[in-house]
Amino acid sequence: MNILLTGGAGYIGSHTYLALAEAGYTPVIVDNFSNSHRGVLQRLQAITERPVLCEEGDVLDTAWVEGVLRKRRIGGVVHLAGDKAVGESVAKPLKYYRNNIGGAVSLLEAMQAAGCEVMVFSSSATVYGDPASVPIAEHFPRSHTNPYGHTKLVIEDMLAALNTAQPSWKIAVLRYFNPVGAHASGLIGEDPSGIPNNLMPFIAQVALGKRAHLQVFGNDYATPDGTGVRDFIHVSDLAEGHVAGLKALLERGESLTVNLGTGRGHSVLEVVKAFEAASGRPVAYQFAPRRPGDIAQCYADPSLAEQLLGWRASRPLDQMCADSWRWQSKNPDGYR
């Protein structure tokens, strides 16, 4: 079955491409390469030993997307395309509302016109805002603290409204925790432009010698070592979660919303230590003030995903670090 994979050239998209191909689906990438690299396509081809199907364009172009859906006889859509930098969303909110919400509306209209009603959507644990307790379950109240998070929340609501109006739609909402790591081949991975916003790529660049030291944002949180605690999940586990979500929709036909996390929290300092062990390199760090908007701890109750999808994350923190290091050390300049 042909599956449209929007944002398929990105970090999570490229790993999801491999998981879909591995499971016997034929992924067709749609990407505008606004925050991804064409070089990833050759890497995907090298790993799968198959030609990569890619349509370059924008999900905001509804008529074009409808054409692709028809031409490629698409049986389901995995929608990852979108902007994802929290800080940028505060500075440029309209960009986020247009690309993320407008992009989802446009894609859904194209799907409706083409008669495709199966959608896996990339949401985020950010929809839980500052949770009252951990682990976080799907029924927890949702809120947002920045425009990026708001777009995920609005799209979730939009999907629910569509599903109420048209119960024939099958929709899986996947709430990601903190995706890290890279494919075991070392050929694909995260390639952030400029200074990384996120912890793991920043640590990898310190280990590589590209940056002098990590700033650890806050050491006075109510956590075991005072630093922030997150549910880091290997991107290949996350990718397999998409395949499990898609299969559940196609086989059981019931819409669902699940967390994709490991259920384990690791602190910033634990990640630093694990990365040093995996890379054999020192990771210098300095404590710095808390980052505005950060919460003390965030980790998933992943039991619903296991119950509904038969999926659970299996790759531990040391593997996340080893794979991230393999990618970073083999590709010091990413795909460039």
User: DSSP labels for 258-299?
Assistant: EEES-S--EEHHHHHHHHHHHHSS---EEEEPPPTT--SEE-
Nearer to ligand WQD, 86 or 101 (CB): 86
Q: Do residues 172 and 249 touch, judged by C-beta distance below 8 A?
A: yes
CB of 45 to ligand WQD, least distance (A): 28
Nearer to ligand WQD, 291 or 312 (CB): 291
CB of 297 to ligand WQD, least distance (A): 9
Q: What sign has the CA pseudo-torsion 134, 137, 141, 144?
A: positive
Spatial separation of the C-alpha atoms in residues 260 and 238, rounded to whole Å: 7
Nearer to ligand WQD, 188 or 204 (CB): 204
Binding site for ligand WQD (CB under 6 A): 84, 86, 124, 126, 176, 178, 197-199, 202, 214-217, 228, 230, 268, 291, 294
Q: What proportions of the chain, in percent to the nearest 5, are helix, strand and coil?
A: 45, 20, 40
Identified catalytic residue from 96, 148, 221, 299: 148
CB of 151 to ligand WQD, least distance (A): 10
Nearer to ligand WQD, 84 or 326 (CB): 84
- Written as six digits, the tokens of 30 are 């749609």
**Strand extents, DSSP E, the chain:** 2-6, 26-31, 53-56, 74-79, 118-124, 170-176, 178-180, 214-217, 229-230, 232-234, 256-260, 266-267, 285-288, 297-298
CB of 227 to ligand WQD, least distance (A): 7
**Is there a catalytic annotation at residue 148?**
yes
CB of 72 to ligand WQD, least distance (A): 28
Nearer to ligand WQD, 299 or 311 (CB): 299
Which single residue brings its beta carbon nearest to ligand WQD?
A: 228
Distances (CA, A) of 178 to 88, 160, 255: 18, 24, 24
Residues acting as catalytic residues: 148
